[in-house]
A and B are shown apart, each in its own frame.
Chain A
Amino acid sequence: MKRKMLCTTLAIMMASSLIACGSSKSSDDAGTEAAANTQGDMENAVITIWSPSDKESIENWWAEKIDEWNAEHPDMLAAREAIDRSDSYAYDNKIATAVTSNDLPSIFFVDGPQVSYYAANDIIVPITDYFSDEIDDFDPATQAQCTYNGELYAISATQSGVAFYYNKDLLKECGVDTDDLDSRTLDNPITWSEMADIAKKCTTDSYVGTHIIMDHGEGIPYALEPMYLSAGKDYISEDGTTADGYVNSDEAVKTTAYLADLIANGYANVDPITDEFLNGACATELGGSWDVATLEANADFDWGVTYYPVADDTKKAVSPCGDWSAAVSKDCENVEATGEFLKWLMNTENVASYADAIAKPATRASSYDEECMAAYAEGPRALFVEQLQNTAAPRPRTPSYATFSTDYAEAMTNIFSDAASTKSVDESYIKEQLDSVAESFAEDYNTYYAK
């Protein structure tokens, strides 16, 4: 019997290993892809960098900058590896794995709200000294997002935002006054009810009225947080210690119900395809600032963009912000060289050329004086800059953000799916889901961070 059990266990282990080998193809593929997007020689570099893989213009920008630095600093060679993000948490998982094996690069890019998480866990080190004389040139939202416990832990070259895009051709077809939308200002943005009204009018057999689900990961808390702030409550308390009474507050339930109602009525898809707005499958969208460049290059229809919608009762204008920021890791062996590189990487000229390549607003005020940033003086890009400078609110700064983000995205997916299936909005279910987010946050915070 013992021998039989041993044989079976061994058979299971062998079968498991065979299956594991078979199913590892995707990650291998990802590795190959990343290796193909490596700039410089990672093996021999003094300064190593990880950042999410990006479009061709950004990959080219990195190649050019790494070559430029290496030509001028042959004793401090830099190399960068592009890591696949997979539209979810794949990049974060790579960081987590490297933390356990003490194998982090000198610099890695961190999404804005994760700065607190990594800082609180001593995964990244303060870089205040390197930027003390020029930090005021960076916009306040960037400073706030990258600061934890009074120290600067990361720095980003670009900012991001979300606004309300509309397909003028489809809106006109449905009898919506696009001139009115074109004329809106930051003092007079569209309200939630106006947004819902447009979405309702523009839902036809061929397309839906709007698009509110950016992705299945961080995109959900990122793009939707201003709705909650406009209604009166953030996801988490300002000191980052509790979500109870915030993400599950009456205001949050009301806000979530409004969003779920768009799904329940069929005005927005619960499982939107990629580039739904660009493909004409929806008439409007809550889209990112990066969509401007995509639409300029590819849209075969007339489109416009206006400010992020506000709650009807408060009319408080708030907009998303935050972007990937460079941080120096705990495993960095050449802190001096890395600090010098980072300072160079984030100089006015590089920030401007990076912002131009990635088509996002720059974080440095002085960068807008560079010629390549001329496009940000007017049009959709200028709208995003104006919104960032006046209404941007960074995501919560809390060491438990990773847990919050995962649970909130899951809860919202459940709520939206429920709305799509039942074609109705169940506020008690919303409350139950948001309560579980608050509970899970409390458990994580109290277990690991509460003193």
Chain B
Amino acid sequence: MAKIEKLSGRKRDERIAGYVFALPAVGLLLAFLAVPIIYTIYYSVFQYQVMRPNDILFVGLENYKKLFSDSDFWISLKNTFYFTIVVVPVQCTLALVLAMLVSKKYRGVSFFRTMYFSPQLTSMVVISVLWTVLYNSNPNTGLINALLANLGMEPINFLTNEKTAMNSIIFMSAWQGAGYQMMIFLAGLQGIPKDQYEAASVDGATPWQQFLFVTLPNLKGTIKYVIMITMIQAMKLFTQPYVMTQGGPRNSTKTMVYYIYTQGFQKGNFGYACAVAAVFFVIVVAMSLFLQKVTADK
């Protein structure tokens, strides 16, 4: 307070203007994130059937107790971690490679940039429907299996075999998502001063050494940001299993968000779904803090 009093009139006006400009964003954040989070935690201690809003029963930590002995919860958590652990490095590496390819100036580079980014412009629902057809197990109706059949190979049940379903979704997701990260990397790459490469070149650095000792250190901040947003996006995996596999086969693609959705909206167990969502929120925050810590500048 004393500090504010010391501010000159202009500085005080600037500070007030700052708060006013921030107000809409903070308001929206509170309305659409903070309030739902508080409500989620509140409802998680009730037995609440979505169709019986007038018949809510306080059950304390009962939903949380049930959750820890619920095998579907653990399977969903395991699947979500598996997806995240695989898709984050795959997608980020792919995005970096693509960004480096399209960062050079050559004829037709704009075309490639557009092509790589174009899956981002299409709804994930549409992409998922398209890939469901591509992955179809019958060579007469599935394009990929038709190609395999032409090569004399046995058809693969991409989405209906528990061993391949999640990996098929990972492949598709990395393909779809890499374009967005590519653009972020591209911006990062274009911000690296050219003279650093020239100096490295004069010192006799090979292209690989230039990548290791010039590109990567300069991209450190960008890489951290890309990993963070990709991880959060991966943890929220929903559309692909919803459209392509409905969590199957044998729960192999059932993810946390999909599980919350089935519990809350399909079965109407709103209280339980809130408990799962609350625990999941804590896990995501913990993972993000962990990631922040391990990637922090020493």
Chain A residues near B (Cβ < 8 Å) = 4-5, 8-9, 11-19, 23, 25-26, 29, 88-89, 92-93, 96-97, 99-100, 102, 117-118, 121-123, 205-208, 216, 269-271, 273, 276, 281, 402-403, 406, 409-410, 413-414, 416-418, 420-421, 444, 447-448
**Given A96-B265, A273-B133, A417-B162: A410 and B285 within 8 A (CB)?**
no
Q: Which residue of chain B lies nearest to A448 when distances are taken between CB atoms in the complex? A: B49
Min C-beta distance of B152 to chain A, whole Å: 14
A-B complex: 3 closest residue pairs judged by Cβ atoms? A417-B249, A121-B51, A26-B125
Q: State whether A402 touches B249 (Cβ < 8 A).
A: no
Most buried by B among A11, A12, A409, A420: A12
Question: Pick the contact of B248 from A11, A29, A207, A410 — CB < 8 Å?
Answer: A410
The complex places the Cα of A29 from the Cα of B292 at a distance, in Å, of: 36
The listed residue (B51, B159, B262) touching A271 by CB distance below 8 A is B159
B206 within 8 A of A: no
**Are the C-beta atoms of B248 and A406 separated by less than 8 Å?**
no
Q: Are B249 and A413 in contact (CB under 8 A)?
A: yes
Question: Knowing A12-B288, A15-B229 touch, does A92 contact B161 (C-beta < 8 A)?
Answer: no
A402 touches B267 (CB 8 A): yes
Interface size on B, residues (CB 8 A): 52
List the B residue with the shortest CB-CB distance to A120: B51
Give which listed residue, A8, A281, A413, A417, contacts B292 with CB less than 8 A. Answer: A8
Question: Which chain B residues border A406 with CB–CB below 8 Å?
Answer: 262, 266-267
B137 contacts A420, C-beta separation under 8 Å: yes
The A/B interface has a contact count, at CB < 8 Å, of 142
Q: Are A271 and B267 interface neighbours, CB within 8 A?
A: no
Q: A19-B236, A413-B246 given. 14 additional CB < 8 A pairs?
A: A15-B229, A17-B32, A89-B265, A100-B270, A121-B52, A216-B246, A271-B137, A271-B159, A402-B267, A410-B247, A414-B250, A421-B157, A421-B161, A421-B249
Q: Nearest residue in B to A433 (C-beta to C-beta)?
A: B250
Find chain B residues with CB under 8 A from A417 CB. 157, 160-162, 248-250
- When the two chains form their complex, are residues B266 and A89 in contact, meaning their CB atoms are under 8 A apart? yes
- Assuming the contacts A270-B157, A410-B246, asked whether A281 and B140 have C-beta atoms less than 8 A apart, the reply is yes
Q: Is the CB of B248 within 8 A of A414?
A: yes
Whether the pair B161, A100 counts as a contact (CB closer than 8 A) is no
CA distance A11 to B284 in the complex (A): 12
> What residue in chain B is nearest A403 (Cβ atoms)?
B267
* Residues of A close to B285: CB separation below 8 A: 8-9, 12
The minimal Cβ–Cβ distance linking A440 to chain B, given in whole angstroms, is 8
Chain A contacts for B269, CB-based, 8 A: 444
**Distance from B53 Cβ to chain A, minimum over Cβ atoms (Å):** 6
| Distance between Cα atoms of A410 and B263 in the complex (Å) | 13
Instruction: Write 6 A-B pairs (CB below 8 A) sorted by A numbering.
Output: A17-B32, A25-B124, A92-B266, A117-B51, A122-B52, A410-B246
B248 contacts A271, C-beta separation under 8 Å: no
Could you tell me if B160 and A13 are in contact, using CB atoms closer than 8 angstroms? no
Residues of B contacting A420 with CB < 8 Å? 137, 157, 160-161
Residues of chain A within 8 A (CB-CB) of B249 are 413-414, 417-418, 421
Q: Using Cβ atoms and an 8 Å threshold, which residues of chain A touch B262?
A: 406
With CB as the reference atom, state the residue of chain B lying closest to A117: B51
A363 vs chain B, min Cβ distance (A):
26
Residues of A within 8 A of B126 (CB): 26
Q: Which of B239, B250, B270 contacts A418 (CB 8 A)?
A: B250
Query: Which of chain B's residues 46-67 have a Cβ closer than 8 Å to chain A?
Result: 47, 49-53
Q: A26-B239, A417-B250 are in contact. Are A270 and B140 (CB under 8 A)?
A: no
Q: Is the CB of B229 within 8 A of A19?
A: yes
Chain A neighbourhood of B133, CB < 8 A: 273
How far does the Cβ of A306 sit from chain B's closest Cβ, in whole Å? Answer: 25
Query: Contact at B53–A16, with CB atoms within 8 Å?
Result: no
| In the complex, chain A residues whose CB is within 8 Å of the CB of B251 | 414
Tell whether A4 pairs with B137 under 8 Å between CB atoms, given A420-B157, A421-B161.
Answer: no
Task: State whether A15 and B228 are in contact (beta carbons under 8 Å apart), knowing that A4-B292, A26-B123 are contacts in the complex.
Answer: yes
Given contacts A16-B33, A414-B248, contact A270 B137 (CB under 8 A): yes
Contact with A along B235-253 (1 / 0, CB 8 A): 0100100000011111100
Contacts of A97 in B (CB 8 A): 265
Of B233, B248, B265, B268, the residue contacting A413 (CB under 8 A) is B248
- Inter-subunit contact A12/B52 (CB<8 Å): no
CA distance A26 to B124 in the complex (A): 7
In angstroms, Cα B250 to Cα A414, docked, is: 5
Asked whether A269 lies within 8 Å of B51 as measured between CB atoms, the reply is no
B32: A residues at CB distance < 8 A: 17
Whether, in the assembled complex, B289 has its beta carbon less than 8 Å from a beta carbon of chain A, the answer is: yes
Given the complex of chains A and B, what is the CA–CA distance between A14 and B266 in angstroms?
28
Is the Cβ of B228 less than 8 Å from the Cβ of A11? yes
Neighbouring A residues of B163 by C-beta, 8 Å = 421
Cβ contacts under 8 Å, B51 to chain A: 96, 99, 117-118, 121, 123
Closest chain B residue, CB of each to CB of A407 = B267
Task: For A93, give its contact among B33, B53, B265 (CB under 8 Å).
Answer: B265
Residues in B neighbouring A17, C-beta threshold 8 A: 28-29, 32-33
Which residues in A have their C-beta under 8 angstroms from that of B136?
269, 271, 273
Give Cα A14–Cα B233 distance, bound, in whole angstroms. 12
How does the 8 Å CB contact mask read for B130-155 relative to A, with 1 for contact and 0 for none?
A: 00110011101100000000000000
A447 proximity list for chain B (CB < 8 A): 47, 49
Residue of B nearest to A405 (CB): B266
Residues of B within 8 A of A273 (CB): 133, 136, 138, 141
Please give, as numbers and ranges, the residues of chain B lying within 8 Å of A14 by CB-CB distance: 29
CB distance from A35 to the nearest CB of B (A): 17
Q: Does B232 contact A (CB under 8 A)?
A: yes
CA–CA, A19 to B248, complex, Å?
25
In the complex, what residue of chain B is closest to A421 when comparing beta carbons? Answer: B161
Rounded to whole angstroms, the CA-CA distance of A253 and B85 in the bound complex is 38
Task: Chain A residues near B233: list those with CB within 8 A.
Answer: 19
Expressed in whole angstroms, the Cα–Cα distance for A118 and B125 within the complex equals: 29
Per the bound structure, the CA–CA distance linking A208 and B139 in Å amounts to: 11
Provide the B13-43 mask, 1 if CB < 8 A to any CB of A, else 0: 0000000000000001100111000000000
Rounded to whole Å, the gap between the CB of A18 and the closest CB of chain B is 8
Q: Indicate with 1 or 0, residue by residue over B102-129, a CB within 8 angstroms of chain A CB atoms.
A: 0000000000000000000001111000
A114 to chain B minimum Cβ distance, whole angstroms, is 10
For the complex, what is the distance from the CA of A17 to the CA of B268, rounded to whole Å? 25
Which residue of A is nearest B229, CB measured?
A: A15
Residues of B with C-beta under 8 A to A96: 50-51, 265, 268
